Structure 1
Amino acid sequence: MKEPCPVPVDIEKARREELRWLILRALYAARPIGTTETIIKNAIEPVMLDITLLEIRRELDYLEDRELLAVERSRAVPVWSAKINRLGVDLVEYTVPCDPGIARPEKWW
């Protein structure tokens, strides 16, 4: 008989952390120009079918606070756009350590 999991799994936390990693990967692929929240959503939907623009905006804001990317918010156009910066690129390329809060997979190569 299997032992019960000693630590309860926080599904929402795991989802947020995975979303942050997927956003960084999408913006890494969009270098050097960056892209809009809608393109990011389209890139992530195959992995997270029920993703919303609000969730993406929350995590873009979080990642901007962590200084991994820059977000452009225009009052004239209600669409956010984002561009990964040097630290975000280094994080995706595994050249810097990843602090908690982002579900970056372990380096296996």
Structure 2
Amino acid sequence: MSNPDMEKARREFIRWSILLTLNNGRPVACHESVLLSVMQTVYSDATAIETRRELGYLEGRDLVRITRSPSGPWRAELTRHGVDIAEYTIDCEPGIARPVKYW
């Protein structure tokens, strides 16, 4: 049986990990396979569907821009708001597991 709090924590951490990965990849957009590979280093059972779902969430918050290829793959890049969240220059609303700034 799954724990809803653990599932929520997982989703929010995946979102944060996506933002960090895209920030490190700037200014080039990241292919979804790169994002999935990074997610699988933390959660070995992470899936492409899960990664796309969280990318869609971040897109809905205007933090990422997704280019959907007609052949199937997605590429994502940060918007200026996504960069600001990743660099701690603006407040982060709930839904993303951004750690508290300690410096």
TM-score (norm 1): 0.88
In structure 2, the partner of 1:4 is none
What residue ranges of structure 2 are gaps of 5+ in the alignment?
none
Q: Structure 1 or 2: larger helix share?
A: 2
SS at 2:49's partner residue? helix
Over 3 Å off, 4+ runs: none
What's the offset of the Cα at 1:9? 6.4
Q: Which residue of the partner structure matches residue 26 of structure 2?
A: 31
Structure 1: state its 5+ residue gaps: 1-7
| CA RMSD between the two structures | 1.3
Counterpart amino acid of 1:82? A
State how many pairs are aligned.
101
1: CA distance, partners of 2:10 / 2:30: 22
Normalising by structure 2, we get a TM-score of 0.93
State how 1:59-74 maps to structure 2 within 5 Å: 59-74=54-69
Distance 1:39 1:57 in 2: 12
Letter in 2 for 1:73: R
Deviation sequence 1:52-99 (CA, Å, 0-9, x none):
000000000000000001001122x21111011111011011000000
Is the aligned partner of 1:13 residue 2:27?
A: no
Q: Which amino acid aligns with 2:5?
A: D
**Larger of the two Rg values belongs to structure:** 1
